[in-house]
Structure 1
């Protein structure tokens, strides 16, 4: 996926911009998340723990970079319903998928980008809280994702980009 945008227009959201992104392929691990009774946070944390503790990034074949993606897809309704959560990496092909891993091909779409800066995961949680509270955001609930690149590891100066699929 190229983050280079066809459309890159600043909008009413502080620090956010709109991008038309090309499609890309992901290989990773997944869980179906129920967004009720605080179970979403527990399930997401458990998947991240598995990803890091088992060093699953080393098992992803055909990686295009070291960036880690967290993707939200197959929404039952909206952010209050069930969805599939995937942690993985962008790849060039699906010809070698390790056992226990899933694939996701993300199609071209329009996204609103939000930038989380500061200590993680607190900065990402703050960004998501703002996204959920924004009643003007015209979400499509196709695929939303965060990109955890090199700047993710910069402590209190960390940075993560969040992309929310929006109407054209």
Structure 2
């Protein structure tokens, strides 16, 4: 099982990441890719920039733990997570999650699980900069926590696993 994470300020190349991802693994039957982008409208506020801060070392460990959790719950051949930090503008790519498995259902579910956990458990601090010149820190939304609760309920009922975070 290949499992890697990166936190970086530079943009990523989706095509290059895909070409390298599980390239020599003939057991992969499905690859699911999610690319998140910075959008310009967030909760009725025109956003002109987004700044992401993190704690180097701690963030990578947290991302690795999330990817490892997905690999425990689904039969995955590979996981790749790339998350950007620094100053980003609308239309910039911010996150990439690649999951590979022999079967598509597992690759899809693991990808969604990773994204839901990234939104709520990854130690990033986000600040939106509006057209009005004001900046404000952004927290995870209620819908992000609802998605997380759904996974935690499923994990407890289907696998008897309790989240230790």
TM-score (norm 1): 0.26
Structure showing greater Rg: 2
More helix by share: 2
Specify which structure has the bigger relative contact order, considering alpha-carbon pairs within 8 angstroms and separated by 6 or more residues.
Answer: 2
TM-score (norm 2): 0.26
